[in-house]
Amino acid sequence: MKTDILDRRIQYWQSICHALSDATIAEIEKERSHLYKAVADGLDEPTLLHETGVLILQLTSLVERRNYIDEWLPLVTKAVTVCTADPYMQTRLIDLEGFLYATRKQYERAIPLYARVIDRAQTAGWQDLLARGHLHLCVAYQAMQKFDRAATHGQAAKQLLEENDTLTVDYPSVLNALGLLYAEQGDHAVAQAYFREAITLWENGAEKTWLARGWLNMGWSQMLENKLDAALLAFDQGIVIAHQAHNQLEASYIEINRGVCLLRLGKIETAAQAFANARTEAMQRSGDRFKQALLAHNFGEVKMLLGDYEEALALLQEAAVIWQQVDLPVHQLAVRGEIARVLARMGQVAQAKKLLEEVIAALGLETGDSAREQHGLMVAALDELGML
């Protein structure tokens, strides 16, 4: 009897979590403890392990969008341990475990899990999981800027899907990953060809969040090329689609890039509105600390340009804290330089000079093009203060 009741609970949650929108997620959150208990109980019942695994996989978007990764990782790890009688489901869960670590940018833990997925899939002949493993390794190695390895795995996933169109892995997602890989290396013509093909395929699908992501990536590549008007059009298209998909977080991601694009176009007030639009509850609750810092940093710079110094200072200080947390010292030093510029405009020139001198000294110890560029900008800023 207890097993029957638990089975119905799991089936209930599967029906609720089948399609996740912002509205659905808001409803789920009200009963999140019950959902968590249903999954935990399901993992303790051998006859329900498969159905519980299906539910865990359905929850991936919720866990990512609401930053429940730390809460759910132990359950996923346990699921991997107990699902030994269902090797295919177990391998899908291993892939999910790797994805959650990758979302936390813990690639040293994600990559061995993805490699394990590939080994098991090759042995068992699971072509869809083989393609998925290659796709996720492509994304992980690209994030680590190991571009040759990323390209090898991306092309392997692409070839597998082209040879078998019945596989469940999303082919446009592979094209999108390859587009990002080429854009990172500056080959925007190839990157945008991949994005364009992915967008065309996603336009015919039911899942609109990925279509919005395609337009985001297209605009990002165009912005890197300094094709700002074209990039702005791509971002505008992506925002409309993200709202149609009821995905506030995706819309926030696009608004951040749109704000940067508008800032480069000199449209300061419109850029400020874009950054304000991005400061959503979904953005604040997401686990993407990099984008949170990027948003606060750019919004603070725009507020400074608009003369709203108190708010600019608060935003830049928020960014400085997050840049330190994610261990990006050059970004943190850059935002401290912006803080110095705000202090100078507030009349605190001596404090601004002292802060800039500290930033310049610290940047001198860093390596890389970004550190050298920031060093030059900070020296110029200090020279300007010397004239006050």
Domain encompassing residue 351: 288-388
Q: Could you tell me if residue 165 is inside a domain? A: no
For residues 339-357, average pLDDT: 93
The reply to whether 318 and 236 lie within a common domain is: no
- How high is the pLDDT of residue 206? 67
- In this structure, is the dihedral angle defined by the CA atoms of residues 281, 221, 163 and 91, taken in order, positive or negative? negative
Shared domain check, 327 and 249:
no
Whole-Å CA distances, 328 to 45, 123, 256:
44, 40, 19
Whether residue 228 is found in the same domain as residue 254: yes
Q: 360 with 342, same domain?
A: yes
Residues 174 and 275 in one domain: yes
- Residue 64, domain member (yes or no): no
Calculate the average pLDDT of the chain.
Answer: 92
Does residue 325 share a domain with residue 272?
Answer: no
Q: What are the φ and ψ backbone dihedral angles of 59, each rounded to 5 degrees?
A: -85, 0
Structure confidence at residue 1 (pLDDT) = 46
If pLDDT is split at 50, 70 and 90, which confidence band does 378 have? confident
Q: Is residue 363 part of a domain?
A: yes
Closest CA to 302 of 253, 294, 331, 332: 294
pLDDT band at 154 (very low <50, low <70, confident <90, very high): very high
Pair 263, 292 in one domain: no
* pLDDT of 180 strictly over 70: yes
Specify the DSSP class assigned to residue 19.
S
Looking at residue 387, its pLDDT comes to 47
**Domain end among 279, 310, 331:** 279
Hey, CA dihedral for 185, 189, 190, 193, is it positive or negative? positive
* 346 in a structural domain: yes
Out of 218, 249, 279, a domain closes at 279
CA distance 133 to 129: 6
CATH number at residue 346: 1.25.40.10
* Position 381 in a domain: yes
pLDDT (tens digit, 9 = 90+) per residue, 273-317?
999 999 998 898 887 899 999 999 999 999 999 999 999 999 999
CB of 76 within 8 A of CB of 93? yes
Residue 198's pLDDT is 95
Residue 170: is its pLDDT beyond 70?
A: yes
Domain count, the chain: 2
Q: Is residue 139 part of a domain?
A: no
Residues 387 and 292 in one domain: yes
Average pLDDT over residues 25-53: 89
CA distances from 151 to 16, 107, 138, 254 (A): 37, 17, 6, 26
Residue 55 lies in a domain: no
Is residue 198 located within the same domain as residue 256? Answer: yes
Give the number of C-alpha atoms closer than 13 A to the C-alpha of residue 87, restricted to the C-beta side: 10
Q: Is residue 15 assigned to a domain?
A: no
pLDDT score for 49: 94
Give the lowest-confidence range in 61-70, 104-113, 363-372.
61-70
pLDDT score at 368? 85
- Residue keyed to tokens 């446009």: 172
Same domain (yes/no): 306, 370: yes
Do 383 and 311 lie in one domain? The reply is yes
- Residue that the structure tokens 């990559």 belong to: 111
Domain end among 253, 279, 305: 279
- pLDDT value of residue 147: 96
Q: pLDDT per residue over 193-202, tens digit each? A: 999 999 999 9
In our burial notation (b when 16+ CB lie closer than 10 A, e otherwise), range 157-187 reads bbebbeeeeebebbbbbbbbbbbbbbbbeee
Residues 299, 263 share a domain: no
Residue predicted with more confidence, 58 or 66: 58
Residue 381's pLDDT is what? 80
